[in-house]
Amino acid sequence: MRFLPVRAGSTLIELDSLNEALALAAALSVNPIEGILEIVPAARTVLVVFDPEQISEEKIAAQIAGLNLSIAAAPSGPLVEIPVRYDGEDLADVASMVGISEAEVVRRHTDSQYTVAFTGFAPGFAYLVGGDPSLNVPRRKTPRVQIKAGDVALAGEFSGIYPKDSPGGWQLIGSTPLVMFDPEREPAALLEPGFRVQFRDVTNEQFEVQPLEYKKRARQSRSAAVSIEITYSMFPVLIQDEGRPGKSSQGVSESGAADKASYRIANRLVGNEPGVAALEITLGQVQLKAAGKMFLALSGAPASMTVRKPDGRTKVAGRFEVLALDSGDILTIGVPPRGLRSYLAVRGGFDVPRFLGSSSRDLLAKIGPSALVAGSIVDVLEAPKSAIVSTGEMEPFPMPSVGETIAIDITLGPRDDWFTDDSVARFLAQPWEVSPQSSRIGLRLTGSALGRVDQRELPSEATVHGAIQVPPNGLPVLFLNDHPVTGGYPVIANVARHHLDLAGQLPPGVHLRFNRQSLP
């Protein structure tokens, strides 16, 4: 058992086998340690997220050392039957690799009872273990550009079901009509760690899928007297709030505002309670029209705000100023000279639905309210009588400008030893430019590619917001809020918590220089 560095408040525990990783995760679930906030098991590791003010990594290690991991926990979760039509594109290839008939592949796949080991890759994607060892086949040499939702596949010791259309490299042996992930459901994921799975062959059957009984997310119907319409937007406008922490068991990351400090400032300016949804505006260039009287405030990237009245009069709003709009007023938000994302809050908040406890739009999971474009209308909720506005707010940090070199504090690890010494030195020494191909999922960085000393395929392991993963091309990707829960490329470093909001404000063209920090 090895404790690998992530950053303050997180550690990655590496074990010798999948069974040991699952046993540790099960032991921590049955015998919770005070101060641990979340555990994320994966193929050979368990990520432990903890409150460093409550417990230290040393104390966690000492308590884990007393756990008996030699006794694997027996699967005890609910049993889910998955009907499968075994007509996958790779079924014949799998049979050939194993040296058996296609019918025998199907028999061995359906005779085994699987267990969900962990989730990741995509929301609702469950890594299933416990199958016939003879069906351990390698991934395809060339991944497919598109795999359909519901495709049943094999790779190594795992079986899995793709929850949505996506690229992938697993061997396809069939498909199921069941919906693996539905944000309208509670819970959204059909399969979670510990669940048992039995596949059933329905290739030659005529059948109707009986929907499993789930509680649907409640909808509320309101008739709002106040609303705001997007009349122009250069880029889609996203609804964001504090996000949805603690959903990794469903394969969903935290998401939420990319710069939470600025998002919170906007809400405080208009007197909103913590967690009220706001608009996340990328690079400004948005025009909105008010229907009814409302009070708004903008924070984050310092875009200009100009109000045009129906009679043609205009008013320019100051920074951190609460702006009153009357019905028919048009608000124009300009291009910010610094930063990337601005946050527009309205007193009372926007009336938007919640998915998995949050109104945040997650671009990877494709959950949350749809992005707002020209023609979108959002209702405004009535503010509580006790709303208290904030004054004297200031920028949480200097917003970065294109062409600047910004220092970002990082902790090396957990996989810096997979890279050559020269590459680690260059990672820290050279400036990295943020590519235009970046998004809320991650910042793609350009520079001198990094070389690996360890060429093995990394078993999937958990990642955190701020992880810096290095794919085969050697160019790092800095994961932001909508990152995947698990990844299969080595993470060379992780951004310090105090610089996560700054990372969310880095526009394309900014240069980064990573500043190594030591864990306390």
pLDDT digits (tens, 9 = 90+) for 449-486: 999 999 988 999 999 999 999 999 999 999 999 999 99
Distance in angstroms (rounded) separating the CA atoms of residues 79 and 177: 18
List, in sequence order, every residue forming a beta bridge with 343; answer none if it has no partner: 280, 299
**Which pLDDT score is estimated for 394?**
93
Q: Residues 121-173: pLDDT tens digits?
A: 889 999 999 999 999 999 898 889 899 999 999 999 999 999 999 889 999 99
Backbone angles phi, psi at 313, to 5 degrees: -65, 150
Dihedral sign, CA of 291, 297, 302, 307? positive
The encoded tokens of residue 462 equal 């958990």
Hey, do 82-209 and 405-516 end up sharing a CATH topology, with the first three levels equal?
A: yes
**What pTM value is reported for the model?**
0.91
Q: Report the C-alpha gap between 252 and 38 in whole angstroms.
A: 13
8 Å CB contact between 346 and 380:
yes
Token look-up 């050697």 returns 474
Tens of pLDDT, residues 404-444 = 999 999 999 999 999 999 999 999 999 999 999 999 999 99
Q: Rounded to an integer, what is the distance from CA 150 to the centroid of its chain? A: 21
The number of CA neighbours under 13 Å toward the Cβ of 291 is 14
Task: Tell me if 372 sits within 8 A of 233, measured CB to CB.
Answer: yes
Which of 245, 226, 139, 150 is CA-nearest to residue 191?
150
Q: Which helix (H) or strand (E) holds 410?
A: strand 405-412
Pick the CATH number of 82-209 from 3.40.50.620, 3.40.50.720, 3.40.50.300, 2.40.100.10: 2.40.100.10
| Number of Cβ atoms within 10 Å of the Cβ of 315 | 13
State the DSSP code for 448. S
Cα gap 352→373, rounded to integer Å: 15
Task: Name the residue ranges covered by the structural domains of the chain.
Answer: 2-65, 82-209, 227-379, 405-516
Distance CA 401, CA 434 (A): 12
- Rounded Cα distance, 372 and 387, in Å: 27
Question: Which numeric CATH code is attached to 2-65?
Answer: 3.30.1360.40
Determine the distance from the C-alpha atom of residue 296 to the mean position of all C-alpha atoms in its chain, rounded to a whole number: 29
Per-residue pLDDT, 208: 57
Whole-number pLDDT of residue 3: 96
Structure tokens at 112: 């085994």
Q: Copy the structure tokens of residue 519.
A: 């864990």
- pLDDT at position 207 is 57
Q: How far out from the chain centre does Cα 139 lie? A: 24
- What's domain 405-516's architecture? Beta Barrel (2.40)
**Does 274 score more than 80 pLDDT?**
yes
At 504-515, the pLDDT tens digits run 999 999 999 999
pLDDT (0 to 100) of residue 217 = 47
